[in-house]
Amino acid sequence: MLAAWRRRTRGEHRWPSVAAITLAIVLQLLLPDRLSLHPRWLLPGVEIALLVVLILGNPVRLVREHTLLRLGGLGLIVTMTVANASSAALLIERLLTGQAGDDAPSLIGSGAAIYATNIIAFGVWYWELDRGGPFARAAGLRQHTDFLFPQMTEPDVAPPDWEPAFLDYLYVSYTNATAFSPTDTMPLSRWTKMLMLAQSAIALGTVALVIARAVNVLH
């Protein structure tokens, strides 16, 4: 008998991913003007528009796949990643050139917002691409996984109907950003390894420089 994650299922609920993406957009809008691409409303506006389209296409469960919706989902992630990576690059540039200022709470707040958005953006990447994305996983179209979760190797530790959902990928993203390496879930395909590498690099650069500058300011 096939494991649940390999069989056809009812599809995931939409709202966990919507809540996380909404939080990421809010964090982007809260960043100082100097750490945002201009016009600063453009990328968040594109993200909001794409998110609304995706919700209308599948309001509750991810059960109806369409090429345009798939492209819209990928476009949303790309836009979110570009916006956050740009903010991280601008922050790092200011830290290295001494233009970041002496306001430690503001530095830590900006760094935390970029760090949290980094976790959400890459969590959505992992969720959207693993085994072809949530629709392909629900249809059981791909049997070879890109992420090896513990429940896949030890099925006795999980319910028979267990399958990875958005929060599992968000957790993978969180642990990769905090440990700067995989923890309990292993990347198997090359694209997952490269994405995890990029995420760790952004997280490490942001955290290390922000903390170093903040400590220097406080002293």
For position 100, what pLDDT does the model report? 64
What's the Cα-to-Cα distance from 6 to each of 3, 136, 137, 143, 147, rounded to whole Å?
5, 10, 7, 6, 13
For position 22, what pLDDT does the model report? 96
Q: Domain-by-domain residue ranges, the chain? A: 4-218
For position 11, what pLDDT does the model report? 76
Q: What is the pLDDT of residues 35-90, one digit of tens each?
A: 888 888 899 999 999 999 999 988 888 877 788 888 999 999 999 999 999 998 88
Give the pTM: 0.90
Give all strands (DSSP E) within the chain, no chain letters.
Answer: 147-148, 186-187
Q: Evaluate whether 1 touches 24 at the Cβ level (below 8 Å).
A: no
Residues of the chain with pLDDT under 70: 1-2, 4-5, 100-102, 211-212, 214-219
Residues 88, 1: Cα–Cα separation, whole Å: 47
